[in-house]
Amino acid sequence: MASAPSTPKGTRDFNAADLAKRRYVVDLLRQAFELHGFGPLETPSFENLDTLMGKYGEEGDRLIFKILKSGNFLEAVAEGAAPKASQIADKALRYDLTVPFARYVAQNHGKLALPFKRYQIQPVWRADRPQKGRFREFYQCDADVVGSRSLYQEVELVDLYSYAFDRLDLPVEIRLNHRALLAALARRFGFGAALVDFTVAVDKLDKIGVEGVLKELREKGADESHVGALEDWLSVPRSTQESLQYLEHLVGDDPEGLQGLTEIRFVLDRVSRPDAVVLDLTLARGLNYYTGAIFEVRALGVALGSVGGGGRYDDLTSIFGVKGVSGIGISFGLDRIVLCLEELNAFPSTLQSAPQILALHPENAAAADALYAAVRAWRAAGISAEFYPDAAATKKQYAWAEQRGITWVVQRIEGDEVFIKNTLNGEVISCNKTDYEALNKLFN
Partner RNA sequence: GUGGUUGUAGCUCAGUCGGUUAGAGCGCCGGAUUGUGGUUCCGGAGGUCGCGGGUUCGAGCCCCGUCUUCCACCCCA
Helix (H, G, I), strand (E, B) or coil at 207: helix
Out of 20, 28, 63, 391, point to the residue binding RNA (CB under 7 A).
63
Q: Which is nearer to RNA, 235 or 394 (CB)?
A: 394
CA dist 297 and 165 (Å) reads 10
Q: How far apart are CA 146 and CA 149, in angstroms?
A: 8
For RNA, the closer of residues 91 and 285 by Cβ is 285
Choices 24-32, 102-110, 312-320, 328-336; region in contact with RNA by CB under 7 A: 328-336
432 binds RNA (CB under 7 A): no
Q: What is the DSSP letter of 131?
A: B
Residues 219, 248, 402, 435: which binds RNA (CB under 7 A)? 402
Among 9, 84, 323, 441, binds RNA (CB under 7 A): 9
By beta-carbon proximity to RNA, the closer residue of 221 and 324 is: 221
Q: Name the phi and psi angles at 342, rounded to 5.
A: -65, -50
If one asks whether residue 331 binds RNA (CB under 7 A), the answer comes out as yes
163 vs 28: CA distance, rounded Å:
10
Residue 65 touches RNA, criterion: CB under 7 A: no
140 counts as binding RNA under rule CB under 7 A: yes
- Partners of residue 91 on adjacent β-strands: 48, 67
Specify whether the CB–CB gap between 397 and 361 falls below 8 A: yes
Q: Long-range CB contacts (< 8 A, 24+ apart) of 321-327?
A: 321/106, 322/105, 322/106, 322/109, 325/105, 325/109, 325/114, 325/146, 325/147, 326/146, 326/147, 326/148, 326/149, 327/102, 327/105, 327/144, 327/145, 327/146, 327/147
Q: Does 333 bind RNA (CB under 7 A)?
A: yes
Q: At what angle do helices 16-35 and 152-168 cross, to 10 degrees?
A: 150
Question: At 208, is the secondary structure helix, strand, or coil?
Answer: helix
Of 10 and 274, which CB lies nearer to RNA in the complex structure? 10
Cα(339)–Cα(353) distance, rounded to whole angstroms?
18
Q: What is the rounded distance in angstroms from the CA atom of residue 377 to the CA atom of residue 241?
A: 63
Cβ closer to RNA: 18 or 128? 128
By rule CB under 7 A, what count of residues binds RNA? 57
Interface residue with RNA among 399, 416, 432, 441 (CB under 7 A) is: 399
Supply the minimum distance, in Å, between the C-beta of residue 354 and RNA. Answer: 15
Instruction: Give the residue, chosen from 39, 57, 252, 255, that forms a contact with RNA under the rule CB under 7 A.
Output: 57
The binder of RNA chosen from 145, 151, 181, 360 (CB under 7 A):
360
In degrees, rounded to 5, the angle at the alpha carbon of residue 41 between the alpha carbons of residues 39 and 45 is 160
- Binding status of residue 61 toward RNA by CB under 7 A: no
Q: d(Cα 421, Cα 444) in Å, to the nearest integer?
A: 15
We find the least distance from the C-beta atom of residue 200 to RNA, in angstroms, to be 5
For residue 333, the minimal CB distance to RNA (Å) is 3
Considering the complex, state which of residue 257 and residue 333 has its C-beta at the smaller distance from RNA: 333
How far is it, in rounded angstroms, from Cα 136 to Cα 214? Answer: 33
Q: Using the rule CB under 7 A, which residue among 308, 327, 329, 355 binds RNA? A: 308
Q: How far is the CB of 247 from RNA (least distance, A)?
A: 23
Q: Which helix (H) or strand (E) holds 12?
A: none
Query: Is 66 a binder of RNA (CB under 7 A)?
Result: no
Q: How far is the CB of 444 from RNA (least distance, A)?
A: 20
Residue ranges in 266-295 that form contacts with RNA under rule CB under 7 A: 285-287
Residue 441 contacts RNA per CB under 7 A:
no
- Fill in the per-residue mask, 179 to 218: x = in contact with RNA (CB under 7 A), - = not in contact: ---------------------x---x--x-----------
- Least distance (Å) between residue 312 CB and RNA: 14
C-alpha to C-alpha distance for 167 and 29, rounded to whole angstroms: 9
Nearer to RNA, 103 or 126 (CB): 126
Closest by CA to 406, choosing from 417, 395, 419, 421, is 421
126 touches RNA (CB under 7 A): yes
Nearest distance, CB of residue 96 and RNA, angstroms = 6
Beta bridge partners of 293: 178
Q: Which residues contact 396 (CB under 8 A, 6 or more apart)?
A: none
Residue 68 touches RNA, criterion: CB under 7 A: no
Which residues of the chain form contacts with RNA (CB under 7 A)?
Answer: 1-4, 6-11, 57, 59-60, 62-63, 96, 126, 128-136, 138, 140, 200, 204, 207, 285-287, 297, 305-309, 331, 333, 335-336, 360, 393-396, 398-399, 402, 411-412, 421, 423, 426
